Amino acid sequence: MFLEITQQIHQWLLSLLPETAVPYVEMVLIAVVYLALFAVLGLFLVLLERRVAAWFQLRIGPNRVGFQGVLQTIADALKLVSKELVGIKKADKFLYNLAPYFVIITSLTALGLFPFSPYFQGFDINIGIFLLIALSSIGVIGILMAGWSSNNKYSLIGAMRSGVQTISYELSIGLSLLTMVLLTGSLQLSEIVEVQKNGWLILQGHIPAFIAFVIFIIAGTAETNRTPFDMVEAESELGAGFHTEYSGMKFAYFFLAEFINMFIICAIATTVFFGAWLSPFGITDSIVWLGPFWFMAKTFVLIFLMMWFRWTFPRLRVDQLLTLEWKYLLPINLVNIVLMAVLVWQNLIIQF
Amino acid sequence: MSYFSEIYHGIKTLLTGMSVTGKYFLNARKGAITQQYPDNRDTLKMFDRFRGEVIMPHNELNEHACDGCQKCEIACPNGTIEIIWDREIDPETGRKSKIIDKFIYHLSMCTMCGLCIDVCPTDAIVWGQNFENSTFDRSSLTRVLNKPGSTQRADARAKE
C-alpha cells in the first residue's frame, strides 16, 4: 500500500514538474513526513510519560485539557513557543544557540533509519545499526556544548556526567548489538528483519540473546539519561543539569529530543530483538500495511518498560554507575559474545 | 562466587521493586489518592487530624463549654485569641464567677499550633475541618467564636 501511494505521488509529481526537480520535491515531502512523525511522537510520549508516571504513583495525572488530557502536551508546547528565550550575557552565544539543534537533529536523523514496514523506511543503508549507534551518541556532543556554553557550573557538571555516562555505556550498547549481529550476519536493518522471518532474534538466540537484550535495555536507559541513570539532570543536585539556562522553545527541543531518544533506543531494540514490523508468529505477515502498527506496538511495550524503570528505581551515584558498567555489564557482555559465537558456530540457534 | 550472587541479588531486588510499582500501576484507577478538589467539593471530607481553624462547638440550647479561664489566651504564642469577659453572681450559689462576653479569634494571625486546644480545661474549643478560609477582606478573618446570646453549659460549669 505504501508502495502504491508513493508510486502514485511519484507519477503525479513527474507529470507536474521537470524530471530533475522531482527528487528534490520528494526529499522535502519525506522530510515533512518524518518531521510530522517526530512532532506527534514527541508530544504523545511526553503525555504518555506523565500519565504513566501518575499511575505508578497512585495519582491521576493530567486529565483536564481535552478528553482525558490528550491535548495537554499541545497546550504545553504552545505555552513554550510563546515564552521568551532568555539569553545569558556571559554565555558562548554561538555554541549556546547551536546546542539544541545539534541534539534534536541527531535524534531526527536516527528516526529516518527504522524499518517501520518493508516500504516505509527513510534510508536503508548497509551499515544501518552502526550508523544508529553513531548517531545516538552524537547527541551527547550537543549536551556537552549546552553545558559548556551556558557558563554555569551546574550545567557543566551535568554535561560532563553525561559525557562520562555515554562513553561508558556506548560500549555496552555496541557490544550487545554486536552479539545480535553475529546471528544476522548483516548490519543492514532490512536484512536483519529478513533474518527474523524464521523467528525473532530473541527466540533464535535464546539465552545469550536474552542476556544481550537485558544489557541493551539497561545501557539504553543510561544512554537516554533517564532515571535511574539521570545524573545529567539530577534535580536534587544540579538544578536542571545541562539545560538549566535554557528557556522556551530551546528547552523544549532538549526535552523533545530526550523523549525521541527513548523512542529510538526502544525502536532499535524492536528492530534487532523483536522483529521490527513482523507480527508475532506471522499471523498478519500477508497484510503489509499492519507493519507500522506492529512496530509501534512493540516499541511502546518497551517504552513502557523504560518508564517502569524510571518510576521504580532510585538514582545511582556516579561511582555506582561506573561500577555497574565496567565491572558487571562489560565482562558479562564479552562472555556473552563468545557464547553467541559458539552458538552460531555449532548451529544451536532455534529457527522455525 | 560472591560476584554472581551479587548479580542474582541485584536482579531479584530490582524485580521486587518493579512488582511493587507494577501493582500500584494496575490499581491506580481505583486507588488514586488525588482529590479533584473543586469537582468533589460536596463530598470532600477532610481527615480528623486536619487543622483548619479553631471553632467553639455549641449545643442545641446555644450553650458552649467556655468558662473564660483565659488559659488559651495565655498559651497562644502570637496573640490570636482575645477574651472579653465579665463577672456575674451565680443566682443559685451566690458565688461570683467569670463569664465570657466575646471570644475573639484572629484567624489571620493563627499558626495552627494547637496549644490553645491542648490547654483548654473544658474542651470548649476544637479543631474545625473547614479549609476554605480565603476572603477578599482581612477584617472578616477576625471572628467571634461564641454565638450571640450563648451561655455556659451546666456540665462545664460544674467542673470548676
Q: Can you give the pLDDT at residue B160?
A: 54
Nearest-angstrom CA–CA distance, A300 and B94: 85
Residue of B64, B72, B52 whose CA lies nearest to B146: B64
CB of A344 closer than 8 Å to CB of A183:
yes
Nearest-angstrom CA–CA distance, B10 and A113: 35
CB of A108 closer than 8 Å to CB of A263:
no
Residue B24: list chain A partners with CB under 8 A: 55-58
In a 13 Å sphere around the CA of B112, the CA atoms on its Cβ side amount to: 10
What is the separation, in whole angstroms, between the first and last Cα of chain A?
Answer: 28
Residue of A159, A154, A157 whose CA lies nearest to A95: A159
Residue B32: list chain A partners with CB under 8 A: 58-60
A57 touches chain B (CB under 8 A): yes
Do the Cβ atoms of A312 and B34 come within 8 Å? Answer: no
Residue with cell 443559685: B92
**Residues A67-75: contacts with CB under 8 Å, at least 24 apart:** A72/A47, A73/A43, A73/A44, A73/A46, A73/A47, A74/A43
pLDDT band with cut points at 50, 70 and 90 for residue B136: very high
**Nearest neighbour of A328 by CB, restricted to B7, B29, B31:** B7
The alpha helices in chain B, defined as continuous H runs, are: 2-31, 71-75, 115-119, 154-158
Which grid cell is A307?
A: 518508564
Residue A59: list chain B partners with CB under 8 A: 28, 32-34
Find, in chain A, the residue whose alpha carbon is nearest to that of B25: A56
The string over B13-52, giving b where at least 16 C-beta atoms fall within 10 Å of a residue's C-beta and e elsewhere, is: eeeeebeebeebbeebeeebeeeeeeeeeeeeeeeeeebe
In a 13 Å sphere around the CA of B45, the CA atoms on its Cβ side amount to: 3
Q: Can you give the pLDDT at residue A301?
A: 92
Of A344 and B154, the structure prediction assigns the larger pLDDT to A344
Nearest-angstrom CA–CA distance, B65 and B160: 11
Nearest-angstrom CA–CA distance, A296 and A72: 22
> DSSP secondary-structure letter at A314?
P
A281 touches chain B (CB under 8 A): no
Pick among A48, A57, A306, A321 to test the B interface (most B CBs inside 10 A): A57
Local confidence pLDDT in tens for the 352 residues of chain A: 566 777 788 888 888 877 788 888 888 888 888 888 888 888 888 899 888 888 888 888 888 888 888 888 888 888 888 888 887 788 788 888 888 888 888 888 888 888 888 777 777 888 888 888 888 878 888 888 888 888 888 888 888 888 888 888 888 898 998 888 888 888 888 888 888 888 788 888 888 888 999 999 999 888 888 878 887 776 777 777 777 888 878 888 888 888 888 899 999 999 888 888 887 777 776 777 778 888 888 999 999 999 898 888 888 888 888 888 898 889 999 999 999 899 888 887 777 7
Judged against a pLDDT cut of 60, whether residue B159 lies above it is answered with no
Residue A55: list chain B partners with CB under 8 A: 24-25, 28-29
Which grid cell is B38?
A: 473543586
A301 touches chain B (CB under 8 A): no
pTM of the prediction?
0.82
The string over A84-121, giving b where at least 16 C-beta atoms fall within 10 Å of a residue's C-beta and e elsewhere, is: eeeeeeebeeebbeebbebbbbbbbbbbbbbbbbbbbb
Find, in chain A, the residue whose alpha carbon is nearest to that of B11: A214
A123 touches chain B (CB under 8 A): no
Nearest-angstrom CA–CA distance, A174 and A133: 7
Query: Three-state DSSP class for B143?
Result: strand
Partners of residue A117 on adjacent β-strands: A120
> DSSP secondary-structure letter at A117?
B
Q: Can you give the pLDDT at residue A335?
A: 92
* Sign of the alpha-carbon torsion through A289, A295, A301, A306: negative
Residue B22: list chain A partners with CB under 8 A: 308
Q: Can you give the pLDDT at residue A1?
A: 58
Do the Cβ atoms of B33 and A312 come within 8 Å? Answer: no
The alpha helices in chain A, defined as continuous H runs, are: 2-16, 22-56, 72-82, 93-111, 128-149, 153-184, 189-195, 201-204, 206-223, 235-238, 248-273, 291-310, 318-323, 330-345
Orientation angle between helical segments A153-184 and A128-149, nearest 10 degrees? 180
Do the Cβ atoms of B31 and A58 come within 8 Å? Answer: yes
Partners of residue B85 on adjacent β-strands: B100
Which residues does A336 contact at the CB level (< 8 Å), separation at least 6?
A: A175, A176, A179, A208, A211, A212, A215
Nearest-angstrom CA–CA distance, A125 and A117: 15
Which residues does B73 contact at the CB level (< 8 Å), separation at least 6?
A: B81, B82, B83, B116
Closest-CA distance, A168 to chain B, in angstroms, reads 19
Domain regions of chain A by residue span? 22-82, 88-345
A119 touches chain B (CB under 8 A): no
Q: Can you give the pLDDT at residue A182?
A: 87
**Nearest neighbour of A308 by CB, restricted to B22, B31, B33:** B22
Q: What angle do CA A145, A149, A154 make, to 5 degrees?
A: 95
Closest-CA distance, A313 to chain B, in angstroms, reads 7
Topology of domain B53-158 in CATH is: Alpha-Beta Plaits (3.30.70)
CB of A34 closer than 8 Å to CB of A112:
yes
Which grid cell is A344?
A: 552460531
Residue B18: list chain A partners with CB under 8 A: 308-309, 312
In a 13 Å sphere around the CA of A174, the CA atoms on its Cβ side amount to: 14
One-letter amino acid for residue A144 of the chain:
L
The phi, psi pair for A205, rounded to 5°, reads -95, 0
Nearest-angstrom CA–CA distance, A129 and A172: 14
